[in-house]
Structure 1
Amino acid sequence: MPREDEKHAYPQKRANAAAVLDYAWDTGAFTATEAIAATGLTRSTVIALCDDLVSQGWFCELPNARAAGEYSKGRPARRYELRSSAGVVVGVDAGEHCLTAAVADMRGRELARAHTALDPDGTEPRTAVADAVIARALTDAGVQADAVLCISVGVPAPTDLDGASPEGEFEFWSRMNPGFAAHFRERGWLTEVENDANLAALAEGALGAGVGASSYITLMSGERFGAGYVVDGHLVRGRRGAAGELRLLSLVEGVGSTHGIAALLRTWALELRATGTVDESSLIMKTPKANLGAELVFQAAGSGDAAALSLLDRMAERLARICAVLGGLLDVERIVFTGAVADSLGPLLALAAARLDELTHPPAPELVASTLHGGVVSTGALVRALQIVRANAIALAPATAEEPLAH
């Protein structure tokens, strides 16, 4: 019968190994002495764990400090580093009209990405499309499918903790998320399927306009509004993962729907054109209807077009009301606008911010545009996949090939 101390030895060793591995993730090359200082473990424990992690494939042992030219006297220190090639993660943005797959190594360095257009009403299974795009991305990255340690998939639908989407939205949610979680788990991959706005929020917090804010909202603002909330450093999902579904906007005076900036500016421009009250010299009148969209409105407003400026004023009032409700409810520091129109939003957000100051108690949330462009969801999926790998690394089997992953 094992002694009481032996019963706890293995869990303690796993915890110690996790501590050393976690330290390595946040640093570059390190010595055992540096790991001891960071973890509080004994020298013998750290050295034994580093050797174990080298044999498992998580660490590589580097030339010692003397060989590296760092010093020439005394006993040379052994140096270690997390193997960036210990595996890859895959981040997928399974949007309504386009599917993108990105591949990154264990340091988060993006190796490749691939994408394809989607017919939202097409009959080809979205899982099959995802498989093909992921295969292209892995090939371009120069890695095999068995190097994938985790995949994170963003979908335009709420998801529960198991990655399933509830029924509703006239079957839209089930079409957007046709069992991605089960599909990729069958391939043996650690899998998470998450709402796309939530992944966008994680991307902004790690790499974008949310950096430095403990409480912020990421507002996806293209065809429809959807939100990802980070409050006190934690992503807020809700009971069914539907916290960011903004049906409440239909109850907000002066808003009335979840239609986003791109959809509304296109619709409003066409409606304004049809009234016959716009000067014929305006770009809104001169541009073919098929090309009349948000970017054209922003362009026209930038040149002083009176009709376009009136549309921006109208949109600014709407955004200010949305931000007053969401920002006031969650008491956030910042609201980040993402989507294809983000690069053009500066003047509009300035107008909305001025109106927001009148609608809220000071200080009002700061309104900023994302700098992550159209890849924000797939980037957030990579961020989330790496988080999952870090949290489960001791239970995972890293790739053992010594060759570095392709650039």
Structure 2
Amino acid sequence: MRRANRQALLRLALRGAAFTAADAMAATGLTRATVLGVCAELVSAGWLEQVDGAPAGGSAQRGRPARRYALRSAAAVLAGVDAGEHTLTARVADLCGRTLATVHHPIDQAEPDPSADRTAMVTALIDRVLARAGVPGTPRVLTVVGVPAPVDQHGRSPHDDDFWQRMNPGFVDALGTVPQDGNPGAGPGSPTQRAAAGGAVLVENDANLAAIAEHAGGIGSHVATLLMGERFGAGLIVDGRLLRGASGGAGEMRFLDVALDDERGADGVAALARRWSLEALAGDGALDDGAGVAARSELARISAERITAVDVFAAADRGDELARAVMERIGDRLARIAVILASLLGVETVVVAGAIADAVEPVLERARTRIPALTGPPHPRLVASMHGSEVVVRGAIELALARLREDPLEYLDQG
């Protein structure tokens, strides 16, 4: 009973607003004596604090004001990590989700195996972001790590793909406690012991975290979030719930190899823009009409290894024929992918997320014009994410907050 009472009041406090005993009684059904007793315990434990002042917008009160309590949001921190293939990003937030610091770390691709020491790099980056936030000694109660690989309920990726294993080299074991009984983050030891050791750790697919970030922003309850870079990955929210599938495989886009009759069908926008631009510049295909389209293209003045999707879209906007043809081809492919997802899963919105989101609007415009020719209404809505390159780390913090609010005693209980 004592645990249930503490859980109820911590859930109330994690909503973020200060509350009185009367507020807590109305929200939880507990008696006044119980509320005051448990609040005193939580103040002593360091998770709540008494605050002064009348509630915002409240009217003046006569007599002695009621004691008001609030979450002590600085008592512990949450960490989110985007462990991408080429860049690592770490963020630390307080218990209300307010960002305290964010740090980026590009991975040196010149190294013989840049993924060999990913665990050490992520650990060092977490230490850096904690130091930048000025909270290196504050308990880190929960860390969420996003990886470009499917992840099962235990935070581990399938062993049948070397790339997946390189991207997720056992983060859940190396960074925190080993999950047990199918409950990620529920490892041995008390919550206090886990916090001292770096807290609980959840490992999740990066596209799923992008979908969580979009859903938290109110995008809707039937959404596919396409995380686009070198590869397509999808985070799927249907009926307001994240779809995971066996071994976390929902949203893996390798089916596109078959659906699009292309052995590299799951290539992302970055890879497609580079590959198709180089093919066109080399005269591979029907683009060059004999009038020197490739020779006239400004992309011809960029070295092959440096061409990016941003270059292609910018050139297309300036009227470059070759770049525009590549951009339209990418838009046509995106339209087909959106129609497949809408038809199969009933999603209403397809969000294009990732670093490319800031430059992808011309592709979306092309895809929107193509969708009516591919399927009848209702047509899926295509939008670019507003979160840019930080969508995954934002989703990591959102997932950490959701888990904390769902079961605060798993992470905050002091015995």
Q: TM-score, normalised by structure 1?
A: 0.88
Q: Tell me what 1:198 maps to.
A: 208
Pick one of 257, 260, 272 that aligns with 1:264: 272
Q: Tell me what 2:223 maps to.
A: 216
Q: Tell me what 2:180 maps to.
A: none
Shift of 1:64: 5.3
CA contact (8 A) 2:115 2:166 kept: no
CA contact (8 A) 1:88 1:148 kept: yes
Q: Tell me what 2:15 maps to.
A: 26
Q: Secondary structure at the match of 1:75?
A: coil
Shift of 1:361: 3.2
Q: Tell me what 1:182 maps to.
A: 173
Amino acid at match of 1:230: I
Shift of 1:108: 0.6
Q: Tell me what 1:240 maps to.
A: 247
**How far, CA to CA, are the matches of 2:410 and 2:247 in structure 1?**
28
Query: Are 1:108 and 2:97 an aligned pair?
Result: yes
**How far, CA to CA, are the matches of 2:137 and 2:44 in structure 1?**
22
Q: Tell me what 1:7 maps to.
A: none
Q: Tell me what 1:352 maps to.
A: 367
The answer for unaligned runs of 5 or more in structure 1 is: 1-9, 400-407
Query: Are 1:370 and 2:380 an aligned pair?
Result: no
1:132-191 deviations in Å (ceiling 9; x for gaps): 11111111111135510001111111111111111122x111111111101122535211
CA contact (8 A) 1:215 1:333 kept: yes
> Residues 113-152 of structure 1 correspond to what in structure 2 (within 5 A)?
113-119=102-108, 121-122=113-114, 124-144=116-136, 147-152=139-144
**How far, CA to CA, are the matches of 2:116 and 2:16 in structure 1?**
44
Q: Tell me what 1:323 maps to.
A: 338
Task: Indicate how the Cα distance of structure 1 residues 145 and 325 shifts in structure 2: closer, same or farther if over 3 A, else same.
Answer: farther
Pick one of 309, 315, 334 that aligns with 2:324: 309
Task: Indicate how the Cα distance of structure 1 residues 394 and 159 shifts in structure 2: closer, same or farther if over 3 A, else same.
Answer: same
**How far, CA to CA, are the matches of 2:115 and 2:345 in structure 1?**
41
**How far, CA to CA, are the matches of 2:29 and 2:369 in structure 1?**
51
Shift of 1:301: 1.4
**How far, CA to CA, are the matches of 2:301 and 2:99 in structure 1?**
42
Q: TM-score, normalised by structure 2?
A: 0.86
**How far, CA to CA, are the matches of 1:14 and 1:354 in structure 2?**
56
1:70-118 deviations in Å (ceiling 9; x for gaps): 6351231111111111200111111111211111101111111222222
CA contact (8 A) 1:127 1:183 kept: yes
**How far, CA to CA, are the matches of 1:71 and 1:365 in structure 2?**
51
**How far, CA to CA, are the matches of 1:69 and 1:342 in structure 2?**
43
Pick one of 352, 356, 379 that aligns with 1:337: 352
CA contact (8 A) 1:295 1:341 kept: yes
Q: Secondary structure at the match of 2:315?
A: helix
CA contact (8 A) 1:255 1:318 kept: no
CA contact (8 A) 2:274 2:309 kept: yes
Identity %: 46
Q: Judge which range, 259-268 or 47-56, deviates more.
A: 47-56
**How far, CA to CA, are the matches of 1:395 and 1:351 in structure 2?**
48
**How far, CA to CA, are the matches of 2:303 and 2:361 in structure 1?**
26
**How far, CA to CA, are the matches of 1:395 and 1:228 in structure 2?**
26
Q: Tell me what 1:51 maps to.
A: 40
Q: Tell me what 1:89 maps to.
A: 78
**How far, CA to CA, are the matches of 1:112 and 1:398 in structure 2?**
25
Q: Tell me what 1:249 maps to.
A: 256
Q: Secondary structure at the match of 2:215?
A: helix
Q: Secondary structure at the match of 2:82?
A: strand
1:256-311 deviations in Å (ceiling 9; x for gaps): 51101111111111111111641644322333434322111111111222222211
Shift of 1:59: 1.1
**How far, CA to CA, are the matches of 2:253 and 2:412 in structure 1?**
40
The answer for unaligned runs of 5 or more in structure 2 is: 178-196
**How far, CA to CA, are the matches of 2:394 and 2:80 in structure 1?**
7
CA contact (8 A) 1:255 1:321 kept: no
Query: Are 1:162 and 2:154 an aligned pair?
Result: yes
Pick one of 31, 40, 48 that aligns with 2:29: 40
Task: Indicate how the Cα distance of structure 1 residues 69 and 358 shifts in structure 2: closer, same or farther if over 3 A, else same.
Answer: closer
Shift of 1:355: 1.3
CA contact (8 A) 2:281 2:294 kept: no
**How far, CA to CA, are the matches of 1:255 and 1:213 in structure 2?**
32
**How far, CA to CA, are the matches of 2:244 and 2:282 in structure 1?**
42
CA contact (8 A) 1:254 1:318 kept: no
Q: Secondary structure at the match of 1:17?
A: helix
Amino acid at match of 1:182: D
Task: Indicate how the Cα distance of structure 1 residues 179 and 122 shifts in structure 2: closer, same or farther if over 3 A, else same.
Answer: same
Task: Indicate how the Cα distance of structure 1 residues 396 and 279 shifts in structure 2: closer, same or farther if over 3 A, else same.
Answer: closer
CA contact (8 A) 1:87 1:147 kept: yes
Amino acid at match of 1:180: F
Query: Are 1:230 and 2:237 an aligned pair?
Result: yes
Q: Supply the RMSD in Å over aligned alpha carbons.
A: 2.2
Amino acid at match of 2:163: F
